[in-house]
Every structure is written in structure tokens, then in C-alpha cells.
Structure 1
């Protein structure tokens, strides 16, 4: 697996999502501080629009989700599974952070 550097760790805002272009696709990155850093494909599976990075982060039944700003489906940050419509799934993207940068797995 190849890794692509996206930014320095200090560039990630805490508590919200940002979008990055990695290996030919838009990726939503969510820095939740002590709760971890997560990445999903930025494309909303319900609409096809690239906007998940703009979604609201929430916790439901002990799991972290991003709520799509368009149709309001909740996608689990750890797996991309949709709470309301199990047939929908946002693609999870592997992410790692070290002192040199924020790294996303390339395609």
C-alpha cells in the first residue's frame, strides 16, 4: 500500500471535517482530537455529491458518525456504514498521522 502525505498535523482543524484530493479522489478527513482521526470518501453515497467533509459529527449509541448535509444519513466514521440505509456505504480510507505529516492510503 502506498501512502500520500496530505498536510502537516497542525493543519487539521479539531472537531470538524476537511476535504483533500488524494490519488484522484476527494477524501473527507475528520480530526476528533482524543477520539481519533478518520477518513472516508467525500462522496455521499445517497446523492453522489462530494460533501461529507461538511457534515455534522455526532455520537449515536457510542459510535461516531458524520451526518450528510444533504439527505441527513449518518455514516459511521470507523466503517462508512449508513445507519438509516444499510445498502449505502461511504468508502473508508486508511489514515495515519506521525510527526512528519497526515498520510492517506493511495488507490
Structure 2
């Protein structure tokens, strides 16, 4: 596994998600300002469609989540687990900033 430089931190819009291609995988990256950066698989496990970066950010049961734009399942940004069906998981990715760059840990 290795850290992949995705972009400059200043290029990430706050309060929303963007999709990035990281080592052959579509990753949804969310910049939540003071609440930090999160990265999960961009593919919605319920549908197989790469759309989670376009979802709405919300809080449910005290957890920051993204609501899938298709059928509105809520995926926890920290763990990727679906609130409505814990068998559905959008795999989380480690993410960090270093010297103004956003880095995602590539899997596999």
C-alpha cells in the first residue's frame, strides 16, 4: 500500500464530495472543514453505480454520513457502513494532508 497524492487541499470544495481515481478505484472524498477529510469507495454498494461523491452530507445517530443520490441509503463517512443495512459497506480509505496536499492510501 502506498499514499497517492490526489490534489492540493485548497482545491477541495468544503462541505461536499468529489470523486478521484486512486490506484484503479473511484474514491469519494469529502472535505468537511473543521470536521475533517473523509474518503470512501465512490461505488454505492446497493446499486453498483459510482455516485457517492454526489450524495448529500448529513448526520444520523451522531455519525457524519453521505446519503446516496439514488435510493438514499446513508453511509457513515468514518466506517462506510450503511445505516439502513449494515451488510452494505462503502469501503473507507485512509486520508491525510501533508504540506498542503491531500493523500489517500491506495489499497491492494
- TM-score, L = length of structure 2: 0.96
After superposition, the C-alpha distances for 1:61-95 in whole angstroms (9 at most, x for unaligned) are 21100000001100000000000011100000110
Q: Which runs of 5+ in 2 are unaligned?
A: none
Distance in 2, Cα, partners of 1:81 & 1:95: 17
State the SS of the aligned residue for 1:87. coil
Q: Which has the higher strand share?
A: 2
Residue 12 of structure 2 aligns with which residue? 12
Indicate the RMSD between aligned Cα atoms, in angstroms: 0.8
Deviation, 1:60, is: 1.3
Residue 103 of structure 1 aligns with which residue? 103
Aligned length: 107
State the SS of the aligned residue for 1:72. coil
- TM-score, L = length of structure 1: 0.97
Moved over 4 A (4+): none
